[in-house]
């Protein structure tokens, strides 16, 4: 079980998996859920057990150490800069995986950490993704022919925790990891690198599409979700 509790200026992420419980506390302003983003968002309660929970756990471990500047600020850049710097607390297992699979690659470096490698890293120790250098805006088409994966268009579908959000927009698009959907399907919370906040919540429209008209993501659209059929 995974719960997101918005308490004042803190986001408490509570895990109940592997027979134990873990709580990750992140400052809302510094770590990705601005209080003005979606006022009144209720507790998000999702089934984050098993392999899906592992994907989310890796995503949150990384998100807790991503910033918009080399040195962490008391508050995040509030949309004026993307979170693509990671600090000394970044998971060493992810750094080791990057050094083994893509040594010296700019997109994995601590000052240029990209959204695509964030998603790759979240799955690296759970179920390595069938990707080879695709940009974020190529993921939607690329996964159409990948066995064990299902594409869910954003309109008319709800994702599960651990699914990959595929975005169009900008020169290269964007990808992120779904953390949960509000109980009444009013909002979605996701984790990412090189975005507005490492953990962010956006409202959902009545048709299920993501409302990206928040100022930062205006030129982007969530096309849909890449759903791994083999994850429990």
C-alpha–C-alpha distance, residues 130 and 142, integer Å: 9
- pLDDT on residue 171: 95
Number of Cβ within 10 Å of residue 93's Cβ equals 13
- pLDDT on residue 79: 64
pLDDT in tens, the chain (232 residues): 444 444 333 444 443 332 223 333 343 333 333 333 333 334 444 345 689 999 999 999 999 999 988 877 777 676 667 899 999 999 999 999 999 999 999 999 999 999 999 999 999 999 999 998 899 999 999 999 999 999 999 999 999 999 999 999 999 999 999 999 998 999 999 999 999 999 999 999 999 999 999 999 999 999 999 999 988 7
- pLDDT on residue 22: 32
- 3-class state of residue 49 by DSSP: coil
Range 157-192 burial, b when 16+ CB lie within 10 A, else e: eebbbbbbbbbebeebbbbbbbbbbbeeeebbbbbb
- pLDDT on residue 50: 87
| pTM, to two decimals | 0.83
- Burial class, 129, CB count within 10 angstroms (exposed 0-12 / middle 13-18 / buried 19+): buried
Backbone angles phi, psi at 202, to 5 degrees: -125, 150
User: What is the end-to-end Cα distance of the chain in Å, rounded?
Assistant: 13
């Amino acid at each position: 079980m995974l719960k997101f509790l918005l308490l004042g200026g803190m986001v408490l992420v509570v895990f109940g998996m592997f027979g134990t419980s873990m709580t990750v506390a992140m400052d809302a302003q510094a770590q990705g859920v601005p209080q003005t983003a979606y006022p009144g968002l209720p507790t998000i309660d999702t089934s984050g057990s098993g392999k899906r929970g592992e994907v989310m756990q890796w995503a949150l471990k990384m998100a807790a150490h991503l910033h918009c500047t080399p040195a962490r600020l008391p508050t995040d850049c509030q949309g004026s800069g993307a979170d693509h710097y990671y600090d000394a607390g970044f998971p060493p297992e992810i750094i080791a995986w990057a050094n083994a699979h893509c040594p010296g690659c700019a997109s994995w470096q601590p000052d240029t950490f990209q959204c695509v490698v964030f998603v790759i890293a979240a799955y690296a120790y759970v179920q390595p993704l069938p990707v080879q250098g695709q940009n974020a805006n190529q993921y939607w088409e690329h996964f159409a022919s990948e066995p064990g994966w299902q594409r869910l268009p954003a309109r008319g579908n709800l994702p599960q925790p651990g699914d990959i959000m595929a975005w169009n927009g900008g020169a290269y698009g964007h990808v992120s990891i779904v953390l949960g959907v509000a109980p009444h399907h009013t909002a979605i919370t996701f984790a990412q690198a090189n975005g507005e906040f490492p953990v962010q919540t956006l409202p959902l429209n009545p048709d299920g599409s993501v409302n990206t008209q928040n100022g930062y993501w205006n030129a982007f659209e969530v096309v849909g979700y890449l759903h791994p059929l083999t994850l429990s």
